A and B are shown apart, each in its own frame.
Chain A
Amino acid sequence: SAVISQKPSRDICQRGTSLTIQCQVDSQVTMMFWYRQQPGQSLTLIATANQGSEATYESGFVIDKFPISRPNLTFSTLTVSNMSPEDSSIYLCSVETGPEAFFGQGTRLTVV
């Protein structure tokens, strides 16, 4: 199993600013996944973060908007840059151990 701690749990930000979300895992994992859940919607993968290499982004997501760091096997950050109200969502990190995926509790972001 894996326990994931995400910070902050929620934030209200001004448009045009950036927010960095932290994800800490209690065990070493090769891949970490970042998802976005827009209001009333399902989860959509933003990118996959491997330690020691650049993140792999899904279609519709770019590094300039969502830069990711992965400095070691237990930690990752996702930055939401130059925010607009459309970025208001829940952002979740996830890891997989064996067949099971574990998720953080999410960061609820509101952009005003």
Chain B
Amino acid sequence: DAKTTQPPSMDCAEGRAANLPCNHSTISGNEYVYWYRQIHSQGPQYIIHGLKNNETNEMASLIITEDRKSSTLILPHATLRDTAVYYCIVKGFTGTASKLTFGTGTRLQVTL
């Protein structure tokens, strides 16, 4: 699985959009970009994933650059409950379950 690079920490004001970047320059054609988050003392939670098109769900939007070497997770209206460590993970999806390789993630602090 390709390696990812994320900033160690970010701050965001409540109600504003949080834009979390991720670099994955060695991603291969069949690998997906996944985002998970871990709120303090809980198990990681799936947020969203994508291959090459931008994706949106009830939690967030995922913007993947055309060359697929980087992506941005967008939380459109961050709340205090969004304070967590966000992990960007690149992984192939073959239909068979496989492990997740977690990097160090970005610690997002949402403030009043």
Contact = CB atoms under 8 A, between A and B. Distances in A.
Nearest to A41: B104
B103 A42 contact: yes
Given A42-B87, A43-B102, A101-B36, A95 B44 contact: no
A102 B99 CA distance: 12
B32 A99 contact: yes
Q: What class of interface size applies to chain B in its complex with A?
A: 20 to 34
Contact of B43 (A30, A45, A105): A105
Given A99-B93, A103-B44, A33 B99 contact: yes
Given A29-B97, A31-B97, A100 B46 contact: yes
Interface in A83-112: 92, 94-96, 99-106, 108
B31 to A, nearest CB: 12
A40 to B, nearest CB: 10
Nearest to B103: A42
**Chain A at the B interface: SS class:** strand
B50 to A, nearest CB: 10
A98 to B, nearest CB: 9
B110 to A, nearest CB: 20
Nearest to A93: B43
A96 B102 contact: no
Given A99-B32, A102-B46, A30 B97 contact: yes
25 contacts: A30-B96, A31-B96, A31-B98, A33-B99, A33-B100, A42-B102, A42-B103, A42-B105, A45-B100, A45-B101, A48-B99, A92-B44, A94-B43, A94-B100, A96-B97, A96-B98, A99-B34, A99-B93, A100-B49, A101-B100, A103-B43, A103-B45, A104-B43, A105-B42, A108-B41
Interface of B: 32, 34, 36, 41-46, 49, 87, 93, 96-105
